[in-house]
Structure 1
Amino acid sequence: MGWTARFGAALTVVLATLVLALAALAPAQADDRLVVRNLCSFPVWIAQEGLPGTKAVVKLAPRERRSLAVKIGDAVILPTKVWPKAGCDKTGENCTIGERRSATVNSGLEATWCSGEGCRSYFSLELNGGYTLPVSVEPKAAENTVAGCSPAACPALTTQACPTREDLSTDGAFPKLARQDLRMRDPKSKEPIGCFSPCGKLTAPTRVGGLGFKQTDTEAQAYCCTGAFAGHEACRAGPVDKTKYAKLVDQACDGEADAWAYDKAHGLHTCTGPIRLVYTICPKG
């Protein structure tokens, strides 16, 4: 083999090695399975948990839409939570609405993604703590034979619709809780910024309008599905499913969202095969 041929062969090996090395360093290809849209007249920040490699909060201007990467491998389950925030600083923090998911009310989407033969994915609008902004979620699938893979839209969930005289007395056991305003208010301006669920009202901090009980306290058990009311059947047999809030969510979301814990008969959506979710803030009714 001549010098030129040997040089060419060596160069080919070097280039091939370099390509493999660069491929190893390159980030995994983004799986475009989640699209978020802001149809509000104001900017919205989308917060997320469970999406590796994606920013914790992403800003959307009015009418803007953006894809969030959902990176999963074969037969891997990836639980995800996303929710809207508004009235934030330039970093997407210190928000008026939706600042801390675990301590305040949010119009959240929860989804479990998977891939592989026989795979099933799940999603739900989790309103069992309350809601802030109207939302909807629509699954996109080329082929899907599961009846539960249907849209969930709640365009009428506004602060104006929030019950202001909710009976949380557990059928008269706690008469002082018989008339409760479920509107969550900004601690500074005192303006309504969301709507508590019955459990949310009973257990949220007093600084945002909650009553400060624990979910295991007897005053809250019937509405938080704990203690003697734990589980779907036991909780539904109590007063929670008869509350004005539960009826509002059921009507406003056409029976497609969770109004209380274990309310999966309404809110849990099941899809098969590859799916793509479109999550919209302030959908048009």
Structure 2
Amino acid sequence: MAWEHAWLLAMLLLAGLGLQGCKNITKIDTDLVLNLPPPPTPIPLAVIPLPIETSQRPLPPLPPVTSSPPSHPLQLAPIAPQPVVAPPESVALPRLIVWNNCSKLPIWIASSANVPQPATRNVRILPGQSYSFYIPNAGLSSTRFWPKAWCDDQGQKCVLGSSGGDGQDCPDGGCAPPIDSKFEASFGAVGVDCATKNEGCDWFDTSAVDGYSLPYKLEMSSHCPQAKKIDCLGLSLADCPADEWLGDVGNQDLRVWDHLSSKVVGCYSPCGKLSYSNWGNKVGQNAPNSDVAKMYCCPTPPVSPQQCRTGPVEQTAFVKLIHEKCANVYGYAYDDAVGLQVCPAGTTYTWTLGCPTEVVQG
């Protein structure tokens, strides 16, 4: 074991030099060190797996629902999480966190063009996982987020939620009507007092003015103790009115049928049924301010907020369903007393999405 004695001698030499203080070391005898036999090959240690931080959590219980892929062929997204690149806290905070509470399939989230992150307008969220949207601390107005399902591997050409917009590619046969469940917010500036300045406030809602698609729940952080609870997890497409009286056009089926799979993928609001002609909706050729649609869509002018609230839309089965199963949510355009909420900027919103309810024609 000559090499062991040589290395021990070298170590003692270096230790002795070190005791003299680094400032006194000017040269090490390189001949002594460099002529030593090579050290033994180290024995590799066992590989210990490091914990992987994930955003998974146990799924809270949901009402029993079923969900299956549409009958027409789709290229389904591969199972892989989508990372979040977090900006510095001095620039932006995760002010909207979206959870996929559907154990059956990935859900994609689309966002309006002004949302700065992610670079793509479609984010895939796997079952039991979440995605955080970072909103600038300076604020961001007029944002919109909505879910999509049964998409290709880019989050495009979806059966549910491909209603068009910036960065959105519609499926064969055209865009779906924009009846999606949605979260809308104008985010205020963090650090500005909401009690004295509006720019320090978040104004937000989850709107069913156009219709709805997925059940959901919205929770606000402790920054906003006055916020009203929003729990629409019991809202089902099976509850969508199939025989709604809409004045001049008579009784109408508000269910949105996918034109390829014959599945229900959403529910029109009365205004949506009268004003969206997508997918062959024959009564959807009316402008919102037309005589047929104006008392259900309530554009101002010609319809005042008071006229809207006392008109026929308040009494529709659709609005009553939203108020019953989805409290504190807009059921029509001037439902402000129910739907519009305000919280201090910096509040975190957690939006939990459930599975689409399977309803087939027949």
TM range (shorter): 0.7 to 0.9
Could you list the per-position Cα deviations for residues 135-180 of structure 1 after superposition, in whole angstroms to 9, with x for gaps in the alignment?
22111134x46x3x223111122110000110001xxxx2xx2211
Q: 1: CA distance between counterparts of 2:111 and 2:345?
A: 23
Counterpart amino acid of residue 128 in structure 1: V
Deviates further, 52-61 or 240-249 = 52-61
Find out whether 1:215 has 2:288 as its counterpart.
Answer: yes
Task: Compute the displacement of 1:27 (Å).
Answer: 5.9
CA separation of 1:134/1:213 partners in 2, compared to 1, >3 Å: closer, same or farther? Answer: same
Give the equivalent residue in structure 1 for 2:214: 133
Give the equivalent residue in structure 2 for 1:51: 115
Moved over 6 A (4+): none
Could you list the per-position Cα deviations for residues 7-57 of structure 1 after superposition, in whole angstroms to 9, with x for gaps in the alignment?
xxxxxxxxxxxxxxxxxxx96544111100011121110001132132311
Q: 2: CA distance between counterparts of 1:261 and 1:187?
A: 28
SS in 2 for 1:123: strand
Give the equivalent residue in structure 2 for 1:88: 151
Task: Compute the displacement of 1:208 (Å).
Answer: 5.0
Give the equivalent residue in structure 1 for 2:30: none
Q: Among residues 70, 75, 85, which one is paired with 2:135 in the alignment?
A: 70
Paired residues of 1:72 and 1:78 also in contact (CA < 8 A)? no
- Give matches, 1:193-272, under 5 Å: 193-207=265-279, 209=281, 211=283, 212-226=285-299, 230-254=303-327, 256-272=328-344
Paired residues of 1:133 and 1:158 also in contact (CA < 8 A)? yes
Q: 1: CA distance between counterparts of 2:234 and 2:193?
A: 38
Q: 2: CA distance between counterparts of 1:52 and 1:263?
A: 29
Find out whether 1:121 has 2:184 as its counterpart.
Answer: no
Paired residues of 2:117 and 2:133 also in contact (CA < 8 A)? no
Task: Compute the displacement of 1:202 (Å).
Answer: 0.6
CA separation of 1:210/1:151 partners in 2, compared to 1, >3 Å: closer, same or farther? Answer: farther
Find out whether 1:167 has 2:241 as its counterpart.
Answer: no
Q: 2: CA distance between counterparts of 1:120 and 1:262?
A: 21
Give the TM-score normalised by structure 1. 0.80
Q: 2: CA distance between counterparts of 1:248 and 1:27?
A: 41
Q: 2: CA distance between counterparts of 1:157 and 1:209?
A: 23
**Computing the radius of gyration over CA atoms, which structure comes out larger, 1 or 2?**
2
Task: Compute the displacement of 1:190 (Å).
Answer: 1.9
Give the equivalent residue in structure 2 for 1:109: 183
> Kindly, what percent of the aligned residue pairs are identical?
31
Counterpart amino acid of residue 97 in structure 2: V
Q: 2: CA distance between counterparts of 1:154 and 1:63?
A: 18
SS in 2 for 1:70: strand
CA separation of 1:125/1:231 partners in 2, compared to 1, >3 Å: closer, same or farther? Answer: farther
CA separation of 1:231/1:42 partners in 2, compared to 1, >3 Å: closer, same or farther? Answer: farther
Could you list the per-position Cα deviations for residues 190-238 of structure 1 after superposition, in whole angstroms to 9, with x for gaps in the alignment?
2111100000011111525352221122110110003676232111111
Give the TM-score normalised by structure 2. 0.64
Tell which has more relative contact order, 1 or 2 (C-alpha 8 A, sep 6+): 1
Q: 1: CA distance between counterparts of 2:301 and 2:186?
A: 29
Paired residues of 1:51 and 1:71 also in contact (CA < 8 A)? no
Query: Cα RMSD between the aligned structures?
Result: 2.0
CA separation of 1:97/1:138 partners in 2, compared to 1, >3 Å: closer, same or farther? Answer: same
Task: Compute the displacement of 1:279 (Å).
Answer: 0.8
Instruction: Please identify which structure carries the higher helix content.
Output: 1
- Give matches, 1:10-25, under 5 Å: none
Give the equivalent residue in structure 2 for 1:36: 98
Q: 2: CA distance between counterparts of 1:39 and 1:224?
A: 32
Q: 2: CA distance between counterparts of 1:210 and 1:150?
A: 38
Q: 1: CA distance between counterparts of 2:164 and 2:218?
A: 19
Q: 2: CA distance between counterparts of 1:105 and 1:269?
A: 21
Give the equivalent residue in structure 1 for 2:351: 279
Q: Among residues 259, 266, 270, which one is paired with 1:187 in the alignment?
A: 259
> Which consecutive residues of structure 1, in runs of 5 or more, have no partner in the other structure?
1-25
Give the equivalent residue in structure 2 for 1:14: none
